Structure 1
Amino acid sequence: MINMPRANHWDIFCTVVDNYGDIGVTWRLAKQIANEYSIPVNLWVDDLASFSHILPALNPFKKVQSFSGVNIIHWAEPLPIGFIAGDVIVEAFACELPEQVKNQLLHLHQTDPKSVPIWLNLEYLSAEDWVEGCHGLPSLQANGLKKYFYFPGFTAKTGGLICEQNLFAQRDAWQADTANKLQLFNELNLKGIKAEDTVISIFSYETQALATLCELWQQGAKKVHALIPKGRSLHSLTHLLPCEIEALVPGQKIVHGNLTLHILPMTNQQSFDRLLWSCDINIVRGEDSFMRAQWAAKPFIWHIYPQEDDYHLVKLEAFLKIYCDNLAPEIAENWSKLNLAFNQAQQSAVDLHWQNLNPVSLPLLQHVKQWPINAINDADLATRLVQFVKNS
C-alpha cells in the first residue's frame, strides 16, 4: 500500500438513527468545529435523504457537497472518494468505521505510528455519575490501534455540551421582542396565534400521555396552540385528526375546544432553535432536541428514547437530579414527576402533575434561564474536544 499524505482536517462518521437525532448532533458539531476553530471537516453520512430534512438545501443524490464550511460526503461502501486520514477521526455514537478507513489506519500504525490520527468514539449524552470516570479513556483495539471514548456531559470532568459561542446572545435578542415569534409563526403558516396565547411545541415519540395532555388543554380556560410536525407524535393523536397523517399538510390547523393543533413544516436547525425560543413550553425527544430545549430557556418535557429494562428511566432520573438541584423542592418534585409520568405513559399522573405545575411560575422561569449558564461549565463540547485533541 502506498503511504498516503496526511491532511490537516477532521473526519466525522455518522449513521442516521431515528431520522434526525444522531445527524442533528454531528451536523451541529461539524459546523461549530469548522466555523469557530477554522478546522476543515469532512462529515460522512450514510442517509442523505433523512439528513436533508434538517438541511433542505442538501441534495440527497449528490455524493460530495459543501455547506457551512463542512464537506458532506455520502458514506457508501466502497467510499465514493479516496480516503486520506487527517488529524482526527470521530465515530459518532459507536458507528463502525468503514474497512477502507480502518485498513489505512492500520497501515499508518505499522509504518509510521506517530502519523496515526486521533481516533475518538463520540458517545451519547448522559448525566449519570459513571460518565466522569469513563470520559477520555483509551481503548486498545485488537489490531493495536488506540481509540478514545469521549463522553458529553454536564460536569467539568466530562466532554461538555454542544453549544455555539454566540447562541445565548442570539436567543436573548430574539426573545426580547414578541414580534419575532409572531413573524416566525406567520412564516411557518401557523395562523391565528396571538401573543398572549400559550404555545407548545411537540416533538415526541408515541405515547398516550400526549393524548392526555391534549384532552386537558382542549378543556382548559386558556387557548393552547400545539405545534406538531408530521411524524411520530401524531400517531398518538389520530383520534383528533380529520384525516390520515399522510394527508395532513403543513400549516393545517385542527381545532378542538380551546386546543388548536398546527401541523408544522420541517425546518432547518436555525429555524428549529427559533421555534423553541418562541414557545412557552417544549416537549422534545432524543438528544439534539433535548439540548436545544435547554438552551431555549423555556420549561420542557423530555421524552427520552425507550430502552430495554427501562434503563432510559435511569438516565432520565440522573438528569432530573442535577437539573432540579437549585429548584424549590415542591417545584422540583412536581416537574420531575411530570417528566417521569410522561415517559411511563401514566395518564392520570400526567394530568395531575401538569395541573399542579404552573409552567410560567416565576421560580421555574428564573431557573430555566439560569440553567444554561450553569450547565455550559465555562466550556462547550467543541471547545473541550479541540483541547482534548491538542492534549492527546
Structure 2
Amino acid sequence: MPSPQAATTTLALFCKVVDNYGDIGICWRLARQLHKEHQIDVQLWVDDLISFQRICPEVATNLETQILDGIRIQYWQNQDASFTPAEIADIVIEFFACDIPPGYIASMAQCERPPVWINLEGLSAEAWVEGCHTLPSPHPSFSLTKYFFFPGFNAKTGGLIHERTLDQERRDFLTNPSNNLQTKAQFFEQLGVLPAEISSLKVSLFCYPHAPVAALFAAWSSQEKPILCLVPDGVVTEAIQNFLGETPTVGNHYSRGALTVRIIPFMPQADYDKLLWSCDLNFVRGEDSFVRAQWAAKAFIWHIYPQDENLHHKKLNAFLQTHLATTHSSKTLSLAWNEVHTGDNWQDLWSNMSKDLATIEIQSQGWLEQMNANGDLASNLLSFVNTKR
C-alpha cells in the first residue's frame, strides 16, 4: 500500500512596494523559486499591482486574486482585514519589515502550530548584518517569535537569490549551443539595435532620477570609440530629454558624438537578465537589478537607494570593499555616480573605467563562484525554517 503523500508546505510572502521595481522584483523571483524548486505553495501579497505588471506583463491590475506561474497573488489593500487560523500559512515572510496585517498576526497566535515567522531584510555587506542574521524577536503580546533573515555575501548570511538553472541559462544564451535558443544577436535585433551598432561598447542604464546622467553622457559623447546606451522606457526620462533636447520615445535612438542612446521597452525579468548578460557594462539600481548584475558576471555600477543622512554611502562602501571585482576605477566611478563626492572629472573617470572592463569581467567570474559557494537565498531560508518547525 503506497504511503500517503505529505501535505504541501504553504508560505505567505508580504511585499509593500517602496522602491518601484526592486521590492516586488525580489519577492517575485523568490516566490517563483520557492514554488518551482522546492514545491512550496506560495501566496504573494503585494500592495502595488501596477509596478508588478511592469516586470511581469501577465499581471492583471484589476483583480484582487490571481494565479501566475503557480503563485497565488493577492492584492494587499486592507491592513485591517481579519483572518482565521485556517488561512494562515506554515511559513510567513514579511519583506523588509513591511508590517503585515495585525489580524493576520493575531490568527497566527491562535494556530495549534504557529507558523515560522521571518522578517526578510534588505541586502547589505555591512559587518553588523552577520551578527543580526537569524536573531529572534519575541512578539510583545503573543506567543510568537519573528526571526531576522539577511541576504548577504558570505556564509554567515543568507546568500543571494539564485535559481538552479541560472548559470546554465546564461551560458546557453551567450554560446548558443542549440538553434532552438534565442541568440544574443537575435535579442539585440528584437530591441531594434542596428547591425552597425553591435560593434559598439554596449551599456545598459537603469538608475534613479537623481543620477548624474548628463555628466556621464557628455563624457561618452566625446569618446573616439562608439558607445551604445540602452535605456528602458521611463528610466531617467527627464535627464535624457534635457541632454538630447527632445523627448525620448520607445524604439527610437538618438546620437550625440560617439554616443547613441536607444530607448527600449521596459522588460520582464527574464528579458532583463538577457540584457545584463549581453552588455559590456551595466548600470543598475536598488537591490534586484544589483544582484542580477552580479550573476551576469559583467562589469557594473550600482546606484544605491538613497537613505537619510547618507547612510546609503556606508552601505555602498561596504560592498565596494567586499566585492572581488571592484577595481580602483570602478570604485571611483561608483562613488561619483552616487554623489559621495562632487567635482569629478567625468572624462577621466570614464577613461580609467573603460580600460579595466576586461579585467573586471575576468574577476567577476571569481566573484560568481564565491557567491555560489554560499548557497542560494531560497534554499538557505528553508534550511533555517526547518530548524524552527
Partner SS, residue 183 of structure 2: helix
Who is 1:252 aligned against? 252
Asked whether the 8 Å contact 1:281–1:359 carries over to 2, the reply is no
After superposition, residues 1-392 of structure 1 pair within 5 angstroms as 8-77=9-78, 84-108=87-111, 112=112, 115-144=113-142, 145-177=144-176, 180-192=183-195, 194-207=197-210, 209-244=212-247, 248-324=248-324, 332-344=327-339, 346=342, 348-358=344-354, 361-392=357-388
Residue deviations 1:79-99, cap 9 Å, x none? Answer: 599771121000011101112
Residue deviations 1:264-292, cap 9 Å, x none? Answer: 10111000000110111000000000001
**Structure 1 pair 58/41, CA: closer, same or farther in 2 (3 Å)?**
same
RMSD, aligned α-carbons: 2.2
Partner SS, residue 158 of structure 2: coil
Mind listing any 5+ residue stretches in structure 2 that lack a counterpart? 1-6
Partner SS, residue 52 of structure 1: helix
Asked whether the 8 Å contact 1:154–1:377 carries over to 2, the reply is no
One-letter amino acid of the counterpart of residue 357, structure 1: M
**Structure 2: distance between partners of 1:168 and 1:347:** 40
**Structure 1 pair 186/242, CA: closer, same or farther in 2 (3 Å)?**
farther
Partner SS, residue 56 of structure 1: coil
**Structure 1 pair 266/232, CA: closer, same or farther in 2 (3 Å)?**
closer
Q: What TM-score, normalized to structure 2?
A: 0.90
One-letter amino acid of the counterpart of residue 296, structure 2: A
**Structure 2: distance between partners of 1:168 and 1:80:** 43
**Structure 2: distance between partners of 1:273 and 1:359:** 25
Asked whether the 8 Å contact 1:341–1:349 carries over to 2, the reply is no
Equivalent pairs: percent with the same residue?
Answer: 39
CA apart distance, 1:182: 2.1
CA apart distance, 1:360: 5.5
Residue deviations 1:95-119, cap 9 Å, x none? Answer: 01112211211323xxx3xx10001
Partner SS, residue 376 of structure 1: helix
One-letter amino acid of the counterpart of residue 328, structure 2: E
Partner SS, residue 212 of structure 2: helix
**Structure 2: distance between partners of 1:364 and 1:134:** 31
Partner SS, residue 125 of structure 2: coil
One-letter amino acid of the counterpart of residue 172, structure 1: R
Partner SS, residue 237 of structure 1: helix
Mind listing any 5+ residue stretches in structure 1 that lack a counterpart? 1-5
One-letter amino acid of the counterpart of residue 284, structure 1: V
CA apart distance, 1:348: 2.4
Who is 2:4 aligned against? none
CA apart distance, 1:377: 2.5
One-letter amino acid of the counterpart of residue 167, structure 2: F
Asked whether the 8 Å contact 2:205–2:284 carries over to 1, the reply is yes
One-letter amino acid of the counterpart of residue 389, structure 1: V
**Structure 1: distance between partners of 2:301 and 2:344:** 16
**Structure 1 pair 285/361, CA: closer, same or farther in 2 (3 Å)?**
closer
CA apart distance, 1:335: 1.7
CA apart distance, 1:172: 1.5
**Structure 2: distance between partners of 1:359 and 1:52:** 38
Partner SS, residue 379 of structure 1: coil
CA apart distance, 1:208: 5.4
Across the two proteins, how many residue pairs are aligned to each other? 374
**Structure 1: distance between partners of 2:207 and 2:273:** 16
**Structure 1 pair 349/156, CA: closer, same or farther in 2 (3 Å)?**
farther
**Structure 1: distance between partners of 2:82 and 2:183:** 43
**Structure 1: distance between partners of 2:171 and 2:193:** 23
Deviates more, 1:214-223 or 1:50-59: 214-223
Q: What TM-score, normalized to structure 1?
A: 0.90
One-letter amino acid of the counterpart of residue 201, structure 2: T
Asked whether the 8 Å contact 1:163–1:381 carries over to 2, the reply is yes
Deviates more, 1:51-60 or 1:142-151: 142-151
Who is 1:3 aligned against? none
Partner SS, residue 310 of structure 1: helix
Residue deviations 1:197-227, cap 9 Å, x none? Answer: 1110000112453211211111111111111
Partner SS, residue 43 of structure 1: strand
CA apart distance, 1:233: 2.2
CA apart distance, 1:347: 5.2
**Structure 2: distance between partners of 1:359 and 1:126:** 28
